Chain A
Amino acid sequence: MKGPLSVVAIIAAALAVAGLAVFGLDDETTLVPPPEVVAEGFLRALTTRRYEQALPFLDERPAGIGQELRRRRKAIDRAIGTVHDVRGEPGRRSGGTASASVRLRGERGEARLRFDLVRRHGEWRLTSPGTWDEGPAARAFVTSH
């Protein structure tokens, strides 16, 4: 049983190194996904209708969040059509909070959403499903090709 015990020891050592980096050395972007990657992952899941996979990106999941995510996806579809490119862009980062934006490219134009994030147990989580970044109305955030 030397093999399995050695494997467990390696797993424990690797977890200790990762934990030390994140909690001891306050690593926010190297051994944990940075804010823009979290926001991008959320929108990838949302725009491909994988709502269950989108939920873990959120810090809080109030009742009815599933319906809210579906509404968001439909709003994006209405604004720019089927999304074929999702790209996260870094924003500001200070202490345990950060912001990031994600540029969506669809068949009828582009849109940009902004996210606020908070650090929970060393990982970044979205505080909301995102707000339109450019302008107060749909005309402002959707730009034609």
Chain B
Amino acid sequence: MELCQVAVRALFAYVVLLGLLRASGKRTVAQGTPFDFVLALVLGDMVDDLLWAEVPAGRFTVAVGTLTLVHTLVSVATARSERLDRLLAGEPVPVLERGRPRADAVRGERIHPSELERMLRVEGVPREAWAEVRRATVEVSGHPAVAREPWAEPPQRRERARVRPAP
């Protein structure tokens, strides 16, 4: 009997969370910002309380619903105001420009030089290819993004077609 009750609670939590996350939009717990990540953790913890019947389903619904609603309202507001978006989510920080690391930004983001090397290597830019990078940034999610110099971009299909191999 107790197993059935756990299953019913799990089903309730699943349906409520699925409904809320679908209704709130794709970005809610996409971990786009550090706060998305925190929200995902908090929601996960609340499910635990419901599964073991430590809180009534009504209170669980109000708690996860309120958090999701506020987060949705904030995302609606930040989608309309770039200033608010910068204030709440932060801005990407350029850590490498024209092949050279920006020491102040690297220090500000608390990135060790070896960690910067690793981040860029994961993005397909080894140390010897830094000259090909126009700009590398640490996005608000904490992930790196790399923009190469135009001459270092891999050729597109049309360009490849134009360059016919010699007979």
Contact = CB atoms under 8 A, between A and B. Distances in A.
A14 interface: yes
B54 A7 contact: no
B140 to A, nearest CB: 20
A140 interface: no
Chain B: interface size category: 20 to 34
B84 interface: no
A65 interface: no
Nearest to B50: A31
B24 A31 contact: no
A136 interface: no
B31 to A, nearest CB: 18
A63 interface: no
Given A7-B23, A18-B61, A31 B76 contact: no
Contact of A30 (B5, B65, B68): B5
B69 A11 contact: yes
B53 A7 contact: no
A18 B57 contact: yes
Contacts of B55: 33
A75 interface: no
Contacts of B19: 10, 13-14
Nearest to A6: B23
Interface of B: 5, 8-9, 12, 15-16, 19-20, 23-25, 52-58, 61-62, 65, 68-69, 72-73, 75-76
For the complex of A and B, list the 6 residue pairs with the smallest distance between their C-beta atoms, beginning with the closest. A6-B23, A11-B65, A31-B57, A18-B57, A10-B19, A14-B61
Given A14-B19, A15-B58, 15 more contacts: A3-B23, A3-B75, A4-B76, A6-B24, A8-B65, A10-B23, A10-B65, A11-B20, A14-B12, A15-B62, A17-B12, A31-B56, A32-B56, A33-B55, A122-B58
Interface of A: 1, 3-4, 6-11, 13-15, 17-19, 21-22, 29-34, 37, 41, 122-123
